[in-house]
Amino acid sequence: MPKKPLSPKAPILVVEDDGLVRTVAVDMLEDAGFDVLEASSADAAWTILERTPGVGALFTDIDMPGSMDGLALAGCVAKRWPDIRLVVTSGGKGLRDAEVPDHGRFLLKPYRQDHLIEAIVAAA
């Protein structure tokens, strides 16, 4: 079943442990008109998700420190908040979209702004 249309005011949570890469992703999304939240680990992202209703999408790197990686985070989010769109990224691991939970999308690093936006919009 397709998710609701993504509202530009529904924040996108960017989860990336590399501060420079996170800043670039946040800037890309903000330049496209989205409200953005950010976290440096899956654990920090989970805390934000529990405290922030209405998150529209999760954009997470796979390889991160902490109790779970980005792919595990995406799986947990899909179970608890099925309306959140999921996009996972990696520079070292290639996945097919079918391997991302809940009809999400995979985006290989390095990515361009238009590809990031397309992936978030296409995640269903």
What one-character DSSP code corresponds to residue 99? G
Record the tokens describing residue 88, joined without a space: 């996972």
Is 5 contained in some domain?
no
Q: What is the pLDDT of residues 4-62, one digit of tens each?
A: 666 667 999 999 999 999 999 999 999 999 999 999 999 999 999 999 999 999 999 99
Domain total of the chain:
1
Boundaries of domain holding 35:
12-122
Does residue 2 have a pLDDT over 80? no
Residue 2 located in a structural domain: no
In a domain, 71, yes or no: yes
Tokens of 26: 């946040």
Q: What is the CATH number of the domain that holds 85?
A: 3.40.50.2300
